[in-house]
Amino acid sequence: MAVETQAVKKPVLFTALVMGAFGAFAGVFVGAANGSVPLGVVIGFVLLAAIAFAAMELLDPKLEQPVKWGLVVLMAIFGFVLSGLPGALVGAIFGYIFGVLIYWVGMGRYRVPLPPYLTAGQVMWHYSFRTLCGAILVFLITPILVVMPLSFNAENFFTFTPEMLRLDPAGYSLKHYRDFLTNSEWTSAVWNSVRIAPVATFISVTLGTLAAIGLSQSHVPGKRAIMVVLISPMIVPLIISATGMYFFYSKIGLVGTYWGVVLAHAVLGIPFVIITVTATLVGFDNSLTRAAANMGADPVRTFFKVQMPLILPGVISGALFAFITSFDEVVVVLFIGSAELQTLPWQMFTGLREQISPTILAAATILVVISIGLLTTVEMLRRRSERLRGMSPG
């Protein structure tokens, strides 16, 4: 069977059907915004299939750039009719994407970056899998993207006001962020979280790193069972862990105390440290520690001079996960904490239950930004760790 090694123009029917599928997918969102998902799917399919047919069958392929920009203008007008200026912006973005896709599919350019021996079914699976992953990503991230602009609402509402939808500057305000930074309830909650999370993280990192190094030794008996016990806090439902901690801590007088909350959060963070440090130790060369011992270094000096520099990316990654776990945790602190130890997530929970304040959206946006920054740091450290261990090119 012949295989394609370069871009070849595809049958018009194939291009129209594929673009119709893309249009139907976009129609789900447009239809949901206008109150009729089935109608949006149908219109999206027919509209994109017709445009693709016209571009590939009726127009000269040399007119690719004019067709692309014409589609941007057409979709912008269509969006403006449906939703005004915001709809026009979204429509222009969709128009540009669809303009690129029409010629990418119609001219067979999707074949160029792939190995020439792939069959049609394998090519379809290659792109279908990536499309599915993209759709899942959109489904997961859309609620976060909705919350962030709502935090700038000038009104005390949890919905987009007409002024916001028109992109009117009068509909936007920083007053909820101002309330978050000046209201004593919110500032005290932030201060409690800042006091608790770093200490809990330090305990988690210290105990988790030592446990991971110990469990990496081949002579440790029953290390599988020990590992299961140590990571059980991230497996057992949190409400069960919180209940057990409450009954145990109440017996030793730690309920409602600062150290009670710190130790509870440390217990929740230790599994993340163990997992990340253990993953880093997989590629660790134990001959380095034996060489250090032969040269007269004691175990402590060997750890800090040989092991720690190599496993440091895993340690820092585990610390970041432990910090996020402590900073975002609310269930355990409801059981173990007190009125004087209300953390930021507890304050957000209370705000949702007792008073619907959009300040919660401002706090959530700040937490999202912090989480994105921390996770970006984790990814950078992961790549650095791979380079240090020779698992990826420098």
183-388 CATH pick, 3.30.70.260, 1.10.3720.10, 3.30.420.40, 1.10.230.10:
1.10.3720.10
Query: What is the Cα–Cα distance from 68 to 350, expressed in whole angstroms?
Result: 51
What is the per-residue pLDDT for 1?
Answer: 40
Query: What is the Cα–Cα distance from 128 to 50, expressed in whole angstroms?
Result: 22
DSSP letters spanning 368-385 = HHHHHHHHHHHHHHHHHH
What is the per-residue pLDDT for 199?
Answer: 94
**Backbone dihedral angles phi then psi of residue 326, each to the nearest 5 degrees:** -70, -40
What is the per-residue pLDDT for 354?
Answer: 67
What is the per-residue pLDDT for 6?
Answer: 56
Spell out the per-residue pLDDT of the chain, length 394, in tens.
444 445 678 888 888 898 898 888 888 877 777 777 888 888 889 988 998 888 888 877 778 888 889 888 988 888 888 777 877 888 898 889 988 888 888 888 888 888 888 888 888 888 889 888 888 888 888 888 888 888 888 887 777 777 887 777 888 888 889 988 888 888 998 999 999 999 999 999 999 998 888 888 777 788 888 888 888 888 888 899 899 999 999 989 888 889 999 999 999 999 999 998 888 877 676 777 778 777 877 777 877 777 787 788 788 888 888 998 888 888 899 898 887 888 888 888 877 776 677 788 888 888 888 888 877 877 787 777 667 655 555 4
- For the CA atoms of 38, 40, 41, 43, the dihedral, rounded to the nearest 10 degrees, stands at 120
What is the per-residue pLDDT for 168?
Answer: 78
Picking from 312, 311, 319, 310, the residue whose alpha carbon sits closest to that of residue 208 is 319
DSSP letters spanning 84-101 = HHHHHHHHHHHHHHHHHH
Query: What is the Cα–Cα distance from 97 to 68, expressed in whole angstroms?
Result: 9
Length of the chain: 394
Domain spans in the chain, listed from the N-terminal domain onward? 12-118, 183-388
What is the per-residue pLDDT for 2?
Answer: 43
12, 56 contact by CB (below 8 A): yes
H and E: helices and strands count for the chain:
16, 0
